[in-house]
Structure formats: C-alpha cells, structure tokens
Amino acid sequence: MSAGYAWGGSPPITQWLLETRTLEEFLQTLADAALEVSHAEGAGVTLEREERPLTVASAGRAAPELDEKQYGQDDGPCLQSARNGEEVHVEDMLDETRWGDYPAYAAACGIRSSVSLPIGAAHSRTAGALNLYAGPSGAFTHTDLAALRSLAAQATGGIALAQRIIEAEEFAGQMKAAMQSRSVIDQAIGVLMGQRRCTAEEAFGILRSLSQHRNIKLRDVCIELVTGISGRRPTAPDLARHP
C-alpha cells in the first residue's frame, strides 16, 4: 500500500478494502495512516474478543510493548477505550494516577502522552481501540482528532464487513452440511421403502427409532444403511449429486 493519504474527506475505505486481502492488512493500513496523520511515535490497533485483547496491527515504535503491559495488568487507556466505547486522552503520564504502574512504565519507555479511540462493530462480541503514543507531554493537544475519529469509524466498518463475510461463509457451510445430511436421509428412506414396502413417513420413523435406540446421529444411521446396500460409504460429492 502506498504511503500518503488525502484527508479532504473520509478515508478511502473502499480503496483500502479493494487493495488489501485480509482484515489484518486492512488494519495495518489504518495504523500506518493514523501514525501519519497524527505525527505520533507509535500507533496500534487493539481488538478484544471474548475478553482476550490483542494488538492486531502497529506502526512506529512503542505500541506493542505498551499495549502488552496493559493486557498483562488487564487495565489501561486502550482497554478502557475499547470496553467503555469512549475516547481516553492522557496529557502527561507523569501526572496520571489511573491504571496502576502503567503510566510510570510508559514514561520509562519514553512515552508521555497518548490517545485511544474506540472501534468495533455494533451488536458484536468484538471491541477495540485505535491507540496513538507520543514522547512529549501534551503531544495530541493540536492533533486533528476529527481525522483520527474518521479512521476509527473506518476500522469499525471494516471489522463489521469482515464479520458479515465470516458469518455468511459459516452459514453457507451449515447449509451445505444440512443439504448433504438431507440427501443421505432421503436415500436411506428410499432403501427402506423398497425393502419393507412402507411409506416415506414410516421409513423415516424406523430410521429415527434406530437413531434413538443406538444413541447415534440420524445421518450416521442413514450412512450405514446406504453403505451396506451400495458397498461403499457415501462421500460429499455423492451426496451433492443427490439433492
């Protein structure tokens, strides 16, 4: 991804999504842009899912080690921003009384100020924050926070899109599995109808009773039956040819 970002309007999320192949690459591009527009020394993107925070992208220096310090003590400005959905500004780490010994650690690493902006999709178990770190105190006093907020909003949109794609793929997989199960069940019903001269409903009742009696899945009972008749176990391609 080429450097240099125009900030006359919203960040080019469509362009970034087209040019990046993964969510991680998209968020790395965002971290690079945040570092450039803020003139900070370090930028990082924290994502927290099911109470497990992780720095998924970083640029410049300091972000990974400062993020990890916060994760280790389960407290800090980036976690506060992610969990509460609020902006967290630190003017001078040496004046901070929040977050245990984290401010002293940050100052010892040469970082006196920071700003964290919340990101994350609504109605999602994933939350996060865009974190900027700078050496001098008050480094973000004159920073264009509107541009950083816009970047955080773009991260939210990218995460939401990625989650929808994942959910769609999972749903497609579930539908495929359900169709395959239905196929082998229909085949087994046909076998029993031919063998016992019964109706489809009666054949299904027999299969269901076998499943309950043997305490195995109905699909597995049907696979055994079809395998016993045909001499080979149905495979996914076989099932796909019998909707």
Question: Residue 242: its pLDDT value, please?
Answer: 42
CA–CA distance, 151 with 177 (Å, rounded to integer): 39
Q: What pLDDT, in 10s, does the model give residues 147-165?
A: 889 888 887 877 777 666 6
Delimiting residues of CATH 1.10.10 domain(s) in the chain: 172-240
CA–CA distance, 47 with 54 (Å, rounded to integer): 5
Question: Residue 71: its pLDDT value, please?
Answer: 94
Least confident of 4-8, 48-52, 114-118: 4-8
Task: Give the pair of three-digit tokens for residue 22.
Answer: 């993964």
- Considering the chain, what is the average pLDDT of its residues? 82
Question: Residue 157: its pLDDT value, please?
Answer: 75
Q: Quick one: DSSP state of residue 50?
A: T
Is the confidence at residue 134, as pLDDT, over 90?
Answer: yes
Per-residue confidence at 121, pLDDT binned at 50, 70, 90? low
CA–CA distance, 109 with 42 (Å, rounded to integer): 12
Question: Residue 49: its pLDDT value, please?
Answer: 77
CA–CA distance, 1 with 21 (Å, rounded to integer): 11
**How far is the CA of 17 from the CAs of 10, 20, 29, 162, in angstroms?**
14, 5, 10, 10
Delimiting residues of CATH 3.30.450.40 domain(s) in the chain: 13-143
pTM of the entire predicted model: 0.64
CA–CA distance, 189 with 195 (Å, rounded to integer): 10
Q: Quick one: DSSP state of residue 147?
A: H
Question: Residue 78: its pLDDT value, please?
Answer: 95
Least confident of 28-37, 52-61, 121-130, 152-161: 121-130
Is the confidence at residue 130, as pLDDT, over 90?
Answer: yes
Is 13-143 assigned to CATH 3.40.50.11540? no
Per-residue confidence at 125, pLDDT binned at 50, 70, 90? low
Pick the CATH number of 172-240 from 1.10.10, 4.10.830, 2.160.20, 1.10.150: 1.10.10
Per-residue confidence at 80, pLDDT binned at 50, 70, 90? very high
* Residue 113 burial (CB count, 10 A): 24
Contact yes or no for 118/129 (Cβ under 8 A): yes
Least confident of 6-15, 36-45, 95-104: 6-15
Question: Residue 166: its pLDDT value, please?
Answer: 62
Coil, strand or helix: which one is 120? Answer: coil
Is the confidence at residue 120, as pLDDT, over 80?
Answer: no
